[in-house]
Amino acid sequence: MFDVLVFVYENYWRGDACPEPERLERRLSAHGFEPDEIQQALAWLDGLNLAAQNTELSPEGRAAIGDAPPGRQSPASLRVYSVSEQDHLGAECLGFISFLESAGVLPAPLREIVLDRAMAAPGAPVSLEELKIIVLMVYWSCGEQPDALVLDELCDDRQGRLAH
């Protein structure tokens, strides 16, 4: 499924440029993806589109501490992960989400979409590389462009690094 998502991200830079599911399915099939993998990715993308449409990324959503309107999460609030989220995501992925939040590049509404889509991903625990693809797809679907440093972190291959 993640190979299909990467293909979609690379070929349709903006979420609104992505073709309708039937047309996308034909294109993916023409590129050699397996039907089961395509169906799983399309169902996942459908859930992503639904979550993105129901999420408001207004300036109030990124307000200063204590300034959240009623019914909206304050930036000072603490997200507690359920046992199933901890099991499905693992410590490495939860740590990466925390890193993105503390860097100020993953506001609470986007974090919740990332968590929702990560929980919908097959396999447990989700690998860090898979989570990075999910984060990119969430930015993509919301029409948000991560800044260059975040994009570098999301696309960085750490296996070739040499620690000093």
Written as tens digits, the pLDDT of the chain (164 aa) is 999 998 988 888 666 677 888 999 999 999 999 999 999 999 999 999 888 887 765 554 443 334 445 456 666 678 899 999 999 999 999 999 999 998 888 889 999 999 999 999 988 789 999 999 999 999 888 877 777 777 777 776 555 544 44
- In angstroms, the CA 76 to CA 73 distance is 8
- What is the pTM assigned to this prediction? 0.80
CA distances, 48 to each of 41, 71, 103, 134, 156 (Å): 10, 22, 24, 10, 24
- In angstroms, the CA 77 to CA 74 distance is 5
Q: What are phi and psi of 109, to 5 degrees?
A: -60, -40
CA distances, 25 to each of 15, 29, 32, 48, 56 (Å): 15, 6, 11, 16, 29
